[in-house]
Amino acid sequence: MIDLLNEKLNEMLPLPLSQRRLPKSEQIDGMIAAHELPLLAGAKVSYDCNNIAQLQLNLDHQQALFASHHSFTMGDIIPATVLLEYLLEAAAWLLGHHFGQQQCYPLAVSQFIIERGLVLTPGKTTELEIHIEKIAINSVKSSLKVSLLSQRINRQGKCLGKKRHASAQISFDFRLKPSVQLPYFDGEIQQYKACKDFLYDRIITTHGPLFQSLTGEFVLSENRQELLGEYHCQHKEKGWLASGNDHFIMSPLGLDSCLQLICFSAILHDGKPRLPMKIQALQVFRQHPSHSFCRVHIHLQRADEAEIICKMAVFDSNNQVILEAQGVMMRHHMGQQFDAEIIEQWLARSAVTATPATDTEALVKAELEASDE
């Protein structure tokens, strides 16, 4: 299959893509069908003077039912994971529509940066644009640089140009392989079976029912630099969009669950809430499950007053690696400071057992296998 795809790509690309012009039949405006990609359904397709595709679409609360479940003091913010899904779907659509590439996995995302949040105002429609800034294709790897923008509107309602919310380099690379097999803890660990209601009532208070995926079971290293947490999407993404289409490329809820646990790890570190701002590198090896639990192993690598940096790996119920990420940056934002004493009391009540560092890799493997039974 891969060889046939490579041959097809080579036939279609006799020149470097920077020198290739799309046939006139491909340069007409069109609409993306509702069944193709959930977030892009109904998007209008056009091309700039360099024959690079641009997608225009509208977003409001009637379509994005999840928005009211991700509410902060400044309004209903589109989650970072949804911003990334927009970029992924745009890249997948372009490669599939123009170059016949249908396989999405494995894929890699580099330099995913959120420059500014995307806030939805109830009763108003936000016009979005997705631009493909750079494309490079060879026999085994297809890469695009994609940006998500909206209009810059002043108080008088006049459009002053565009503002960029997020951008990333996206590659579909058949050679990608996981670098990890199992989570490994260096030192003693503590296991917790906690009441998940506390997490959403007292800690992650910005997330409504459609985002509440954490099960409350996790393992924490003695120095609190590592956490292995469990979550279950429970098909909740079916309720995210008015269309009910949840065929996302990379589960926004799954990745958001990981970010929730990173926020939790940061709070355990210094009590400060943080928001995701950047992922330096992300590799997705297979489709994220929506019907079974997953575990994410988080390792805090650097922490200071302003931000934390960590890496993570996600495993499905069969202990297969779904994705890995490096350089995940969470930045402190002004807001609630958590009561460390209350959290410590909650942790003490939730603790199951302390485990010496006798062979933690084997221990974690045994725990994962026991949970599968």
322-358 tens-digit pLDDT = 999 999 999 987 667 888 899 999 999 999 976 654 4
Residue type, 103: Q
- Strand, coil or helix: what is 48? coil
pLDDT of residue 36: 78
pLDDT of residue 29: 53
pLDDT of residue 203: 92
pLDDT of residue 333: 75
Domain 189-372 belongs to what topology?
Thiol Ester Dehydrase; Chain A (3.10.129)
Q: How far is CA 128 from CA 21, 39, 252, in A?
A: 26, 11, 18
pLDDT of residue 186: 80
Task: Spell out the domain ranges in the chain.
Answer: 2-173, 189-372
What order do you get walking across the sheet with 71-72 strand by strand?
A: 71-72, 75-77, 119-120
Pairing of strands 30-31, 44-47: antiparallel
Phi, psi of 276 (to 5 degrees): -70, 135
pLDDT of residue 145: 94
pLDDT of residue 19: 36
d(CA 7, CA 134): 22
Catalytic residues: 70, 256
pLDDT of residue 355: 62
pLDDT of residue 24: 38
d(CA 69, CA 206): 7
Q: Which CATH superfamily is domain 2-173 in?
A: Hotdog Thioesterase (3.10.129.10)
Question: In CATH terms, are 2-173 and 189-372 the same topology?
Answer: yes
d(CA 316, CA 295): 7
pLDDT of residue 9: 38
pLDDT of residue 160: 80
| Pair 95, 9: CB distance under 8 Å | no
Q: Average pLDDT of each block of 10 consecutive residues along the chain (373 residues)?
A: 44 37 44 83 87 89 96 93 97 85 91 96 94 80 94 78 95 93 88 94 95 97 95 97 95 98 93 92 96 96 90 96 97 80 94 63 53 51
Provide the phi-psi class of 319: left if phi over 0, else alpha when psi is between -120 and 50, else beta: left
pLDDT of residue 138: 75
pLDDT of residue 329: 96
Provide the phi-psi class of 124: left if phi over 0, else alpha when psi is between -120 and 50, else beta: beta
Q: How far is CA 312 from CA 214, 227, 296, 328, in A?
A: 16, 9, 7, 8
Quote the pTM value: 0.87
| Pair 296, 314: CB distance under 8 Å | yes
pLDDT of residue 101: 80
Average pLDDT, the chain: 86
